[in-house]
Structure 1
């Protein structure tokens, strides 16, 4: 595989991974208090309020559960992508997670919201990373098949 492609894949993994980890740190208050520079939520309460706006059909309890599950998913996918562990699984999982996020933004915030925040770009970049990993895995399996000793 060529070096430029390997570097591009690495940078895609890191940028997607950090794009999941930073929002998790933000909603846990690690990046600063609400209203601080570069802080979107600053605490769990503000994040859950945002989650409820993204899913107005959900009860308060379900909104809390959804916020928790999304946070666990984002943290897990982010760490997996940065560490380079189970990248294909993390890529496909983050594709589904961000696609759901983009569609919620589209339906409940208007057509511009997911495009203004490039959520579809992130979603389909995750899908592309998963497909690249799938393709590499398939190529490696074919290589093993053709290199297998046959008496």
Structure 2
């Protein structure tokens, strides 16, 4: 299989994972399929994973995480700054996995392949070949 297809698969997989989680916290998944189902439940989970963050910053933390997931998902889907988006996705997912491990134990992040997803983000940042990426337009302008 060509590396460009693997790169596209990684980009789309991480992006869809982010967008699915965002949709869940906004109640867009059926109740029986959702992890949180609403913003309040998501914020409670954010509080659980971040006990060191003061109570009055928890909602802000949830907003920042959600905004980061939305922006990174869009960037990955369109292929904008793909290497940087991959690294940032890897770090965001790794932070999530470490927080899960510290507060709830190692089983959940392993069961949900959190560290594998983080590794995929870091791996994505190392693939230089471009395919179906808006970055290709910028590379052409710079090479002309």
Shorter-chain TM-score range = 0.7 to 0.9
1:17 maps to what in 2?
15
1:28 maps to what in 2?
26
Long gaps (5+) in structure 1: 138-147
1:2-151 pair list within 5 angstroms: 4-32=2-30, 36-133=31-128, 136=129
Bigger relative contact order, structure 1 or 2, given CA contacts below 8 A and separation 6+? 2
State the secondary structure of the residue aligned to 1:31.
coil
Over aligned residue pairs, what C-alpha RMSD do you find? 1.7
Shift of residue 5, structure 1, vs aligned partner: 1.5
State the secondary structure of the residue aligned to 1:29.
coil
Equivalent-residue separation in structure 2 for 1:48 and 1:122 (angstroms)? 22
Displaced runs of 4+ in structure 1, greater than 3 A? none
The TM-score normalised by the length of structure 1 is: 0.81
Aligned length: 131
Equivalent-residue separation in structure 2 for 1:61 and 1:18 (angstroms)? 30
Q: Larger Cα Rg: Structure 1 or Structure 2?
A: 1
Shift of residue 119, structure 1, vs aligned partner: 0.5
The TM-score normalised by the length of structure 2 is: 0.84
Deviates more, 1:3-12 or 1:105-114: 3-12
